[in-house]
Structure 1
Amino acid sequence: MANLSWNVMLSLAIAILSVVYGFLTNETDDAVTEDAMQVQLLEETQKERALEQLQEVFGLSGLAEKRHHDVPPQFMTDLYNNIADRSGVTRRRNPYNAKVVRSFIERDNSLSHYFHFNISGLDVTENVLEAQLHLYRMRTPPHEMHPTVFMSPSLIIRVYQVLDEQQLGSPDTHRLLSSHLVGAHSHGWEVFNVKEAVLDWMAGRRPNKGILVTCSTLFEQRVEMRFARRNEHHNSKQPILVLFDDDRKTHASTAIPITDNFGGNNKYKTPKPDYYKYDNDPDEPEDQPTEPPRQRRSLPAVESSNSSSPNRTTVGNSSRSGNNSEECTRLEMFVDFDKIGWSTWIIAPKGYSAYHCKGHCRFPLGQSQRPTNHATVQSIVHKLNLAPDVGKPCCVPTTLLSVPILFYDDNDNIVLRMYEDMVADSCGCM
């Protein structure tokens, strides 16, 4: 009987301990799960804050969720390809030394000779250096040409700022912006200066009622001229309004004056400066896709005074490969826009080598460490312990380069912006 009682008591104790152990185990598992969730939440919050800070650096926000599949305008990809080297670093200046180049797509293609661009998203802090209308003139089959064209080797294209959209049939009622003399049988890109109209719209002196384009022979007989339009032809050849802007209004405009005349007559002047040329190949199909960014094209541009050669080497500061030295040097750091989640709206580059500086600035500082005079003095003070709170000089970038980025904005327009001090070109002790 006593043995039975002991067995019962032992079984009861085991059951109680099992319940208590299970309760404690569950409590522990719940606590571990809750801690893990808190850690994960903290990491996600830190990541979001880091991306927000990165967006502030680039001056971009609210674009991460956008998806774009259209082909960018040819001019914008040509421009990017000719100011950036293959590593994404600026190798040449923008036309007009612009900090921002904006291209606006047309919003109305209901009429063959009328163009409208919405520039309401333009940053008010930007100063417009130049504004251009880019139109791709289609090849006209001979059987569609007006008979008078065969007697006139040239045609006159006139561009007007529309003052009254109800009077599109009367060009003289509008403001003439530019005249362009072209070959009667040619085709390809035509570029017109429309800065006066854009400044009018921005200042609110006149509302934006669009742009009117007319064509006539030398005998002032009106003829039709076809231009590639949005959604009707390849998007790379769609009409665009291009603004060359400076993001600091205190800078003086460095716009290149237009001086080319036809036969010494100022009546018809070409607004096409020499800093770029479209690749208008007469044998090229009109709807052929444009080259993707980072494929070099033949646009000449002005060399930048502060950019280095793509094959630049800096003594003691090139990326280390198999180098065990702990001296101050430049190391690889690649910024991948796809991993950040920006590849859906950044056209080019897909990433770039920003580099970073790492290493010791030990006494005595040699010339390979590119020390400043201040760093040399600081290293001596630190070594002799002349001031207890003074540490060793730090390894930091001594030369920084800019990076151009081509991207879609909130309104699906294409923007090329220059970002200063983005790449550590050399490192030294400071």
Structure 2
Amino acid sequence: AEVDVTPYLMLGNSSAGTLALRHICVHAGRAGSRDAPVAPSHPFLLLYLNDTQAGLPPPAAEPRRHRRDTGVLAHDLPGYLREQGGEKSDCSLRPFPVSFAQLGWDHWIIAPHRYNPRYCKGACPRLLRYDYHAPNHAVVQSFVHQLVDANVPQPSCVPYRYSPISVLMIERDGGILYKEYENMIAESCTCR
């Protein structure tokens, strides 16, 4: 998840702010055998600052937040993701069933008549999560686009893994052949 943490900074007597975070594991799982517990994961936090040279804004008139409020950020994240269009516009796999007749290939492909090659569509998030399997280059390119030069394009949503398709086809000599074509169905997406 990505969130602007500026409103959660607690300002003291100095101009330096403090940010208190508490990590709560919501989905505890098991690895390997049924009884082998998974070691608790450590949260990964990446902070970057926009250099406004103005420092933090002056504290608001509202009362200072106390340590017991540190869990508020976790409660705000679902709303934040909905507001940003999260799941609907994120880079993801989309269905696209097509017939070989539509492609003009039905004169040499006997079966199957249809297949779903799928495609990837959507915006790549500014912070590329581990489940995108994005290369390091894409992570750097995203930061360059945001912080250095907006003319550098953001990473693009593209297929990451593919599976084959098996077909029965008519050969030039009229014979029938079973053939497997690699990389015909997109199975997952990434940002590159």
Asked if the contact 2:161/2:188 (under 8 Å) is kept, the reply is: yes
Pairing 1:354–2:121 present: no
Pairing 1:328–2:99 present: no
In structure 2, give the amino acid aligned to 1:401: S
Structure 2 partner of 1:398: 160
Q: Larger Rg: 1 or 2?
A: 1
- Write the deviation string for residues 63-115 of structure 1: whole angstroms up to 9, x where unpaired: xxxxxxxxxxxxxxxxxxxxxxxxxxxxxxxxxxxxxxxxxxxxxxxxxxxxx
Partners of 2:160 and 2:167 in 1: CA distance = 23
Structure 2 partner of 1:158: none
Note the 1:252-401 alignment, pairs <5 A. Answer: 325-384=88-147, 386-401=148-163
Note the 1:3-402 alignment, pairs <5 A. Answer: 325-384=88-147, 386-402=148-164
Partners of 1:365 and 1:341 in 2: CA distance = 39
* Secondary structure class of the residue paired with 1:342: coil
* Secondary structure class of the residue paired with 1:403: strand
Partners of 1:394 and 1:387 in 2: CA distance = 17
The percentage of aligned residue pairs carrying the same residue is: 36
Structure 2 partner of 1:10: none
Please give the TM-score of this superposition, normalised by the length of structure 1.
Answer: 0.23
Question: Greater helix share, 1 or 2?
Answer: 1
In structure 2, give the amino acid aligned to 1:402: P
Correspondent of 1:410 among 169, 172, 181: 172
Asked if the contact 2:144/2:150 (under 8 Å) is kept, the reply is: no
Asked if the contact 1:361/1:369 (under 8 Å) is kept, the reply is: no
- Write the deviation string for residues 283-304 of structure 1: whole angstroms up to 9, x where unpaired: xxxxxxxxxxxxxxxxxxxxxx
Asked if the contact 1:332/1:354 (under 8 Å) is kept, the reply is: yes
In structure 1, give the amino acid aligned to 2:101: D
Structure 1 stretches of at least 4 aligned residues deviating more than 4 Å after TM superposition: none
Please give the TM-score of this superposition, normalised by the length of structure 2.
Answer: 0.50
Asked if the contact 1:404/1:417 (under 8 Å) is kept, the reply is: yes
Partners of 2:145 and 2:104 in 1: CA distance = 44
Asked if the contact 1:327/1:369 (under 8 Å) is kept, the reply is: no
Aligned-pair CA distance for 1:428:
0.9
Pairing 1:428–2:190 present: yes
Partners of 1:420 and 1:333 in 2: CA distance = 18
Partners of 1:393 and 1:355 in 2: CA distance = 20
Partners of 1:324 and 1:388 in 2: CA distance = 24
Aligned-pair CA distance for 1:366:
2.0
Any unmatched runs of 5+ in structure 1? Answer: 1-322
- Write the deviation string for residues 217-242 of structure 1: whole angstroms up to 9, x where unpaired: xxxxxxxxxxxxxxxxxxxxxxxxxx
Structure 2 partner of 1:177: none
Aligned-pair CA distance for 1:359:
0.5
* Secondary structure class of the residue paired with 1:339: coil
Aligned-pair CA distance for 1:362:
2.4
Partners of 1:418 and 1:346 in 2: CA distance = 12
Aligned-pair CA distance for 1:324:
5.6
Asked if the contact 1:362/1:392 (under 8 Å) is kept, the reply is: no
Any unmatched runs of 5+ in structure 2? Answer: 1-85
> How many residues are treated as equivalent by the alignment?
107
**Larger RCO (alpha carbons 8 Å, 6+ apart):** 1
